[in-house]
Amino acid sequence: MANPTQHADQELPAGDAWTIAGTLLDTNGAALDLTSATLEWTLIDMNGNLAIPDDSATITIQTPPTAGLISITVPSAITEGLLPGRYTDALRVTISGNPDTIWTGSILVDADLFSIQGT
């Protein structure tokens, strides 16, 4: 269905709202048609544990859905509790009942400088 992609490393601060944009590709390297797709995103910590609840992010398929463009938005209230460090994220796309994890990568979470006491 899709061409597995390792996205570029992201560096994002805890305590900020995150927006992660990407283009999903099929096995031929063309934009993946997301017209009837269901998308799931997850973030795993350094120990392999779920870092945020799976339903905490909003995944938007951009128009037109045939362009394969998506954005993942995570509210600041969700990222504020993350500890600094390297996390792994993954995106699973389900089309016609066939799930496929097609997009993975690393997210380096920076400390929330605005929550540090005494600054």
Q: What is the DSSP letter of 15?
A: T
Q: Determine the pLDDT at residue 37.
A: 96
Each residue's pLDDT tens digit, 52-72: 988 899 999 999 999 999 999
> How much is the average pLDDT of 99-106?
92
> How much is the average pLDDT of 3-12?
83
Each residue's pLDDT tens digit, 67-101: 999 999 999 999 998 999 999 999 999 999 999 99
DSSP E strands in the chain: the ranges are: 5-6, 10-13, 18-23, 38-44, 58-61, 69-74, 85-95, 98-110
Termini Cα distance of the chain: 50
Pick the CATH number of 5-110 from 2.60.40.10, 3.30.390.30, 2.40.110.10, 3.30.1160.10: 2.60.40.10
3-state secondary structure of 79: helix
Distance between CA atoms of 12 and 33, rounded to whole angstroms? 28
